[in-house]
Amino acid sequence: MLVVCAITAVSLVEYGHVEVTLRALPAVLFAAATSYVVLWQPHVVLTPQSLIAVNPFRTLVAPWSAVDAMTARWTLTVRTTAGAFAVWSAPAQSPWSAVGTLRRDALGRPSLAGAGTPTTAIAPLVNQQWAAHREGPEAAGEATIRWNRRSVIVVTALGALTLVGILWP
C-alpha cells in the first residue's frame, strides 16, 4: 500500500499537476497511514512480567497479576483491573478456518500462516503464559490502557487535510 501511495504521489508531481497534487497528497498519505495503523501496527507481546497488546489506537500493558479473565469468542478479550480490552491482532478461530486447517493437514500441504505464530494459536498461548506467571512476584502491578497518541494525531490530521482538499473550491 505504501508503494502504491508513493507511486501515485510521484506521478502527480511528475506530470505537473501541482494543484491536483496539493489536493490529493493528503488523501494518499491518509490511505497509507491508515493502512499501516490498522493492518501492520496491531500486535501482542508476551513476557514473563506482562501482556502487551497494541491495537490501532490504544495499547494495553497488563502485568499477569492484573489479568482477571480472558475470553476468545470473536477475538481475544482480556479483562483486567483497568477494564476489558479486545485484542485486534488475535481473532478467534472460525469454523471455516478449522476446516481449512484439517484439509491442508490431510493433503500434506504446508500451513498458510507463514512466519510467526498463527493468530488462532494466540489465545491458548496467552492462557498458558497467564497460568504460568500470574502468581510470580515479577508479575505484580496495575494494568494500564493508554492511547497511541502518534497514531491518533497522524490519522486525524491527515483525515482533516483530506477533507480540506476535497471541499476546497
The residue type of 137 is P
Give the model confidence (pLDDT) of 44-68 as tens digits: 999 989 999 999 999 999 999 999 9
What's the domain count of the chain? 1
Structural domain boundaries enclosing 139:
1-167
pLDDT over 50 (residue 115): no
2 with 123: CB under 8 angstroms?
A: no
Determine what percent of the chain is predicted with pLDDT higher than 70: 82
59, β-bridge pairs: 54, 146
pLDDT for 102 equals 52
Cα separation, 90 vs 132, in Å, equals 20
Reduce the DSSP state of residue 115 to 3 states and report it: coil
Q: Which of 53, 69, 56 is nearest to 144 (CA)?
A: 53
52 with 115: CB under 8 angstroms?
A: no
pLDDT over 60 (residue 113): no
Of the two residues 157 and 94, the one the predictor is more confident about is 157
Q: What is the mean pLDDT of the chain?
A: 82
> If you search the block for the grid coordinates 508479575, which residue do you land on?
139
User: In this predicted structure, which of 40-44, 67-71, 94-98, 139-143 has the lowest mean pLDDT?
Assistant: 94-98
C-alpha cell at 46: 508476551
Give the model confidence (pLDDT) of 2-32 as tens digits: 788 788 878 877 887 778 888 888 998 999 9
* End-to-end Cα, the chain, rounded Å: 29
